[in-house]
């Protein structure tokens, strides 16, 4: 049962909320691209102002050595539990631009969607947290919990500075639980709580051959071609049954238990609908596992991008001087990103064709993690969802990576609840990203209710 | 022995010649890129004017459906033999621009080199032919042969319209021999005549997966990755011994004879110098063949370019919607480009991984060809080289493709002499392309002398 005054406040403020959210999305805070560094800083400043407007205290744009962290808290709840909530204000690059139906940084509401780069991931949840605090502070004497908001600016580029900042500010960040809002609802936009996320290791393979592009007629046949060589390496990563061929890759993988596999099998998931929605004739993955298992409970190896030589119109017949690929592996407990990277590096060194120089460098990583279903904080979040969305949540594992889960869990020693609100088809990281407006509006109420529930559950 | 008046004329005109050549190189006539279509037309107009200035007759910019052909002739030699000389005024794309030390279309003379895109390939030879005619007409009553100059504008993008134009104008193009000037001197810039060229077939492989880029966390593991799939296909093209694995690929290959292999082995070629000049630690190619054989007498398969997914800075962890590669094979007699393409297409269809759509389309092709060493026209060209460069030519096969060799040979039924003047390290098709000024200057004299020699040899 929601607070009626709170509800009236939220109903009255809907238009203004959408406006502010759109204003936030208009700032192209792409953390991976240096040309957007100023935009990231502008987004941080904008967000800090927004926190102050909402009534948070100790608001600060905190320097990290990279893009800053925006912090704000409300600590007036005395002995009540303390919650840290996390989101990020940076976004993915927008390209390929030509596949967007509308300009990525000119958000637009169409039907029940807000469309734009970051409209969902993760500016929606950041706004939901701020607006929930604002509504509670405006309609009550205060919050039911002590709340510390931490909004990062480098999540999409590997969170290089978050861990150091968390450790440095460990005292100030003392809490009873961390709530991270960067996960999805389940297929069909069903309210859900995520019990685990995959880790990741992202790396680049660079293959260098001749000291310049060579005429493929004059030199072809006499030298190793760096693109052909790179393709050989990438092809060797996988067996035809979908298993990753790198020796030792699976050594630390905790196999899915029978109970968890049964829970996954029970999830409402229509494989045909899923396949058709992707425009595919066939789903392909590791033999011996279901699609749900493959995309959440098993590790992967995917090329994220490859380039080398001529890609313009017509023909340019060269042996390219070099070739490059960005590759990433999603990892599951208890795989360690560093250890996996070293195994892949050793494998590549072993199989690299002669006549080219092959180097590898890690670009990003994150630990896998999981959260108990029966933790009081998880139960509290579940009650908040049921009270606002009208249905109990489903429980699932996420295929994606929220490395900060491990940061808050391992570094601050906190139980972590993954309470996200993204529709699973939001096209996060892809063109035409969107957020569902009902998820946004109801989610604000869920967050407010969650603080009420946690105040009781964690007391 | 050179005509002294001719020599004096050439000595006096050196600066003006360099100026005109640079003016020609400044026109970015990149035939493969539609945005340069007007530049190609401008180059054709400029060249036609140049032919008129030189004293050629019937000068015309001839429409072809693509970039025009520039034609001019001088037919005042009565019963003397008739020669067709061929070159092309179009050039390769200039990218990657960042690897040029000077702007590609702002030619500059440095030491004994003219540097710029097309400075060598093939605007140097086009200018040499025009200047040779100009010098002969200015210093004598006329030419010793009837001469028909044909300068194409689509050689670097596949000569799509040349064959039709040759057939259509067969009557007007009646001749005794074709001289094609688009080949190289030998390693060490030694004067040489090319006795054969490789053919080629260039094609694109397009791999399409999901209907959009997918978040590699949310979807990775459940779908086939188009880049991984493309790499598997490309890796399958070659055995570890360097042989091409496509069934039937070698069926029509005429193996090198013992005599030709001996001639190749006798060529002055220092493998260590060659390897070091390319910045390589090791040369790699088909087992059982020497480097010279591999790069001129054996067929190849090289990826010229590959692209798919994210190639910007930082990480963007997606399963890309599609992946593409440009691939080309150099072919030797008697391989047929169309037949080879069909064999590759059948192989790709056979090995394509599930869960993606793979299509292939041919982009360009050209027949391989060879020319007898003992033809009177070859002997005449050899004498012209010895008279001007002071050494007899070496004889070699070129690894590159001059598909027009087959056009003139097969369509017009002419013996073809490949009389080119490019230094073998000219970086044609690559950044910092250059032409050697001595090759240019002496080559003009060689061409003039060649017409004298052919007037006698073919009488």
Helix (H, G, I), strand (E, B) or coil at A102: coil
Tokens 């493929």 belong to: A216
The CA distance from A293 to the nearest CA of chain B, in Å, is: 9
Q: For residue B400, what pLDDT is reported?
A: 83
Would you give per-residue pLDDT tens digits along chain A (459 residues)? 458 999 999 999 999 999 999 999 999 999 999 999 999 999 999 999 999 999 999 999 999 999 999 999 999 999 999 999 999 999 999 989 999 999 999 999 999 999 999 999 999 999 999 999 999 999 998 999 999 999 999 999 989 999 999 999 999 999 999 999 999 998 889 999 888 889 999 999 999 999 999 999 989 999 999 999 999 999 999 999 999 999 999 999 989 878 778 878 888 889 999 999 999 999 999 999 999 999 999 999 999 999 999 999 888 899 999 999 999 999 998 899 999 999 999 999 999 999 999 999 999 888 888 777 778 999 999 999 999 999 989 888 888 877 788 889 888 989 899 999 999 999 999 999 999 999 999 999 999 999 999 999 999
Which one of A91, A194, A231, A241 makes the best mutation probe of the B interface by having the most chain B beta carbons within 10 Å?
A231
Which of A326, A349, A366 delimits the end of a domain? A366
CB-based contact B33 A312, cutoff 8 Å: yes
Length of chain A: 459
CB-based contact B311 A326, cutoff 8 Å: yes
Do residue A146 and residue A231 come from a single domain?
A: no
Do residue A124 and residue A227 come from a single domain?
A: no
Do residue A231 and residue A336 come from a single domain?
A: yes
CB-based contact B313 A32, cutoff 8 Å: yes
| A315 contacts in chain B (CB < 8 Å) | 32, 156-158, 202, 304, 326, 328, 363-364
CB-based contact B217 A209, cutoff 8 Å: no
Backbone conformation region of residue A159, classed left if phi is above 0, alpha if psi is from -120 to 50, else beta: left
Question: Do the Cβ atoms of A359 and A156 come closer than 8 Å?
Answer: no
Q: Is residue A261 part of a domain?
A: no
Q: For residue A456, what pLDDT is reported?
A: 96
The CA distance from A97 to the nearest CA of chain B, in Å, is: 12
The CA distance from B226 to the nearest CA of chain A, in Å, is: 9
Q: For residue B1, what pLDDT is reported?
A: 40
Question: Do the Cβ atoms of A60 and A48 come closer than 8 Å?
Answer: yes
Of the candidates B377, B425, B418, the residue with the CA atom closest to the CA atom of residue B394: B418
CB-based contact A234 B227, cutoff 8 Å: yes
Question: Do the Cβ atoms of B124 and B21 come closer than 8 Å?
Answer: yes
| A279 contacts in chain B (CB < 8 Å) | 210-211
The sign of the torsion formed by the CA atoms of B206, B209, B211, B215 equals negative
Identify which of A95, A236, A430 has the shortest CB distance to residue B212: A430
* Count of structural domains, chain A: 2
Do residue B93 and residue B224 come from a single domain?
A: no
Residue ranges making up the domain that contains A88: 4-197+369-457
In whole angstroms, what separates CA A434 from the centre of its chain?
Answer: 15
Phi, psi of A269 (to 5 degrees): -145, 115
Do residue A156 and residue A56 come from a single domain?
A: yes
Do residue A358 and residue A389 come from a single domain?
A: no
Measured CA distances, A45 to A62, A84, A106, B286 (Å): 10, 20, 19, 61
Q: Is residue B433 part of a domain?
A: yes
CB-based contact A305 B310, cutoff 8 Å: yes
Q: Which residue of A has its CA nearest to B155?
A: A315
The CA distance from A444 to the nearest CA of chain B, in Å, is: 24
Which of B325, B349, B366 delimits the end of a domain? B366
Please state, in angstroms and rounded to a whole number, the distance separating the CA atoms of residues A156 and A30. Answer: 8
Q: Which residue of A has its CA nearest to B219?
A: A295
Please state, in angstroms and rounded to a whole number, the distance separating the CA atoms of residues B395 and B416. Answer: 14
CB-based contact B317 A295, cutoff 8 Å: no
Length of chain B: 459
Q: For residue A1, what pLDDT is reported?
A: 40
Backbone conformation region of residue B47, classed left if phi is above 0, alpha if psi is from -120 to 50, else beta: alpha
Of the candidates A456, A263, A443, the residue with the CA atom closest to the CA atom of residue A376: A456
The neighbouring-strand residues paired with A305 are: A326, B309
Identify which of B200, B209, B274 has the shortest CB distance to residue A280: B209
Q: For residue B344, what pLDDT is reported?
A: 98
Helix (H, G, I), strand (E, B) or coil at A207: strand
CB-based contact B279 A211, cutoff 8 Å: yes
Q: Is residue B380 part of a domain?
A: yes
Question: Do the Cβ atoms of A186 and A399 come closer than 8 Å?
Answer: no
CB-based contact A400 B215, cutoff 8 Å: yes
Helix (H, G, I), strand (E, B) or coil at B417: strand
Q: Is residue A265 part of a domain?
A: no
Q: For residue B395, what pLDDT is reported?
A: 85
Identify which of A280, A294, A431 has the shortest CB distance to residue B210: A280
| B227 contacts in chain A (CB < 8 Å) | 234, 302-306, 325
Q: Which residue of A has its CA nearest to B432?
A: A212
Going by C-beta distance under 8 Å and a sequence separation of 6 or more, which residues neighbour residue A216? Answer: A317, A318, A319, B300, B302, B304, B328, B330
Q: Which residue of A has its CA nearest to B315?
A: A157
Do residue A337 and residue A374 come from a single domain?
A: no
- Bond prior to B96 in cis (omega within 30° of 0): yes
Tokens 């948070």 belong to: A56
The neighbouring-strand residues paired with B87 are: B151
Q: Which residue of A has its CA nearest to B271?
A: A222
pTM value surpassing 0.90: no
CB-based contact A303 B227, cutoff 8 Å: yes
Q: For residue B2, what pLDDT is reported?
A: 52
Q: Is residue B153 part of a domain?
A: yes
Question: Do the Cβ atoms of A208 and A225 come closer than 8 Å?
Answer: no
The CA distance from B356 to the nearest CA of chain A, in Å, is: 7
CB-based contact B200 A312, cutoff 8 Å: no
Q: Which residue of A has its CA nearest to B91?
A: A316
Residue A54 belongs to domain with CATH number: 3.40.630.10
Question: Do the Cβ atoms of A310 and A346 come closer than 8 Å?
Answer: no
Question: Do the Cβ atoms of A253 and A260 come closer than 8 Å?
Answer: no
Q: Which helix (H) or strand (E) holds B128?
A: helix B123-139
Would you give per-residue pLDDT tens digits along chain B (459 residues)? 458 999 999 999 999 999 999 999 999 999 999 999 999 999 999 999 999 999 999 999 999 999 999 999 999 999 999 999 999 999 999 989 999 999 999 999 999 999 999 999 999 999 999 999 999 999 998 999 999 999 999 999 989 999 999 999 999 999 999 999 999 998 889 999 988 889 999 999 999 999 999 999 989 999 999 999 999 999 999 999 999 999 999 999 989 878 778 878 888 889 999 999 999 999 999 999 999 999 999 999 999 999 999 999 888 899 999 999 999 999 998 899 999 999 999 999 999 999 999 999 999 888 888 777 778 999 999 999 999 999 989 888 888 877 788 889 888 989 899 999 999 999 999 999 999 999 999 999 999 999 999 999 999
Q: Is residue B261 part of a domain?
A: no
Which one of B317, B403, B433 makes the best mutation probe of the A interface by having the most chain A beta carbons within 10 Å?
B317
With residues binned 3-state (H G I as helix, E B as strand, rest as coil), the percentages for chain B, rounded to 5, are 35, 25, 40
Do residue A99 and residue A113 come from a single domain?
A: yes
Backbone conformation region of residue A390, classed left if phi is above 0, alpha if psi is from -120 to 50, else beta: left
Pairing between β-strand A69-74 and β-strand A113-115 as defined by DSSP bridges:
unpaired
Torsion angle of C-alpha atoms A81, A87, A89, A94, degrees rounded to 10: -170
Do residue A347 and residue A204 come from a single domain?
A: yes
The CA distance from A160 to the nearest CA of chain B, in Å, is: 12
Do residue B336 and residue B204 come from a single domain?
A: yes
The CA distance from A402 to the nearest CA of chain B, in Å, is: 10
Going by C-beta distance under 8 Å and a sequence separation of 6 or more, which residues neighbour residue B342? Answer: none
**Sequential DSSP letters for B302-346:** EEEEEEEE--SSS---EE-SEEEEEEEEEE-TT--HHHHHHHHHH
Please state, in angstroms and rounded to a whole number, the distance separating the CA atoms of residues B340 and B300. Answer: 12
| A282 contacts in chain B (CB < 8 Å) | 224, 354-355
Going by C-beta distance under 8 Å and a sequence separation of 6 or more, which residues neighbour residue B384? Answer: B446, B447, B449, B450, B452, B453
Q: Which residue of B has its CA nearest to A353?
A: B240
B171 burial (CB, 10 Å; 0-12 / 13-18 / 19+) is exposed
The CA distance from A369 to the nearest CA of chain B, in Å, is: 14
Q: Is residue B61 part of a domain?
A: yes
The structure tokens listed for B87 are: 């070159």
Instruction: Dump strand ranges (E) for A259-351.
Output: 302-309, 318-319, 322-331
Which one of B90, B279, B316 makes the best mutation probe of the A interface by having the most chain A beta carbons within 10 Å?
B316
Q: Is residue A270 part of a domain?
A: no
Do residue A191 and residue A314 come from a single domain?
A: no
Identify which of A227, A274, A284 has the shortest CB distance to residue B306: A227
Q: What is the per-residue pLDDT across B230-241, written as a single tens digit (0 to 9) for each?
A: 999 999 999 999
Phi, psi of B65 (to 5 degrees): 95, -20
Which of A338, A366, A394 delimits the end of a domain? A366
Identify which of A278, A315, A353 has the shortest CB distance to residue B32: A315
Of the candidates A190, A197, A32, A56, the residue with the CA atom closest to the CA atom of residue A126: A56
Residue A305 belongs to domain with CATH number: 3.30.70.360
Which one of B120, B314, B328, B354 makes the best mutation probe of the A interface by having the most chain A beta carbons within 10 Å?
B314
Do residue B189 and residue B207 come from a single domain?
A: no
């Amino acid at each position: 049962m929601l607070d009626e005054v709170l509800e009236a406040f939220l109903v009255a403020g809907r238009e203004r909320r959408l406006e502010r959210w759109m204003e936030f999305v208009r700032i192209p805070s792409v953390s991976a691209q240096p040309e957007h560094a100023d935009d990231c800083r502008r987004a941080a400043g904008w967000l800090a102002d927004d926190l102050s407007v909402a009534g948070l205290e100790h608001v600060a744009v905190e320097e990290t050595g990279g893009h800053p962290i925006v912090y704000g808290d409300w600590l007036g709840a005395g002995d009540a539990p303390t919650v840290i909530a996390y989101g990020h204000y940076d976004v993915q690059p927008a390209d390929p631009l030509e596949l967007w139906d509308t300009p990525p940084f000119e958000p637009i509401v169409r039907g029940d969607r807000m469309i734009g780069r970051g409209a969902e991931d993760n500016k929606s949840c950041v706004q939901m947290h701020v607006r929930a605090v604002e509504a509670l502070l405006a309609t009550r004497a205060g919050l039911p919990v002590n709340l510390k908001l931490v909004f990062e600016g480098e999540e999409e580029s590997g969170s290089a500075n978050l861990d150091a900042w968390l450790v440095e500010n460990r005292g100030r960040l003392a809490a009873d639980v961390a709530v991270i809002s960067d996960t999805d609802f389940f297929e069909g936009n069903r309210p859900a709580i995520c019990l685990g996320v995959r880790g990741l290791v992202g790396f680049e393979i660079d293959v260098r051959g001749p000291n310049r592009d060579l005429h493929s007629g004059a030199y072809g046949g006499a030298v190793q071609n760096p693109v052909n060589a790179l393709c050989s390496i990438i092809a060797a990563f996988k067996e035809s049954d979908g298993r990753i061929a790198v020796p030792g890759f699976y050594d630390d993988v905790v196999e899915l238990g029978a109970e968890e596999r049964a829970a996954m099998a029970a999830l409402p998931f229509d494989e045909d609908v899923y396949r058709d929605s992707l425009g595919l004739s066939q789903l392909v993955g590791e033999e011996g596992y279901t699609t749900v298992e493959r995309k959440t409970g098993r590790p992967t190896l995917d090329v994220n991008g490859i380039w080398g030589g001529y890609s313009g119109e017509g023909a340019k017949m060269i042996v390219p001087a070099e070739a490059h690929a960005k590759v990433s592996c999603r990892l599951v407990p208890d795989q360690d990103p560093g250890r996996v990277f070293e195994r892949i590096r050793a494998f590549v060194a072993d199989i690299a064709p002669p006549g080219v120089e092959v180097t590898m460098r890690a670009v990003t990583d994150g630990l896998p993690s999981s959260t108990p279903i029966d933790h009081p904080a998880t139960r509290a979040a579940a009650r908040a969802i049921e009270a606002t969305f009208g249905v109990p949540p489903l429980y699932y594992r996420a295929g994606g990576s929220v490395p900060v889960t491990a940061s808050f869990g391992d570094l601050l020693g906190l139980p972590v609840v993954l309470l996200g609100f993204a529709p699973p088809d939001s096209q996060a990281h892809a063109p035409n990203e969107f957020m569902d407006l009902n998820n946004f509006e109801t989610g604000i109420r869920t967050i407010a209710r969650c603080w009420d529930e946690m105040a009781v559950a964690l007391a």
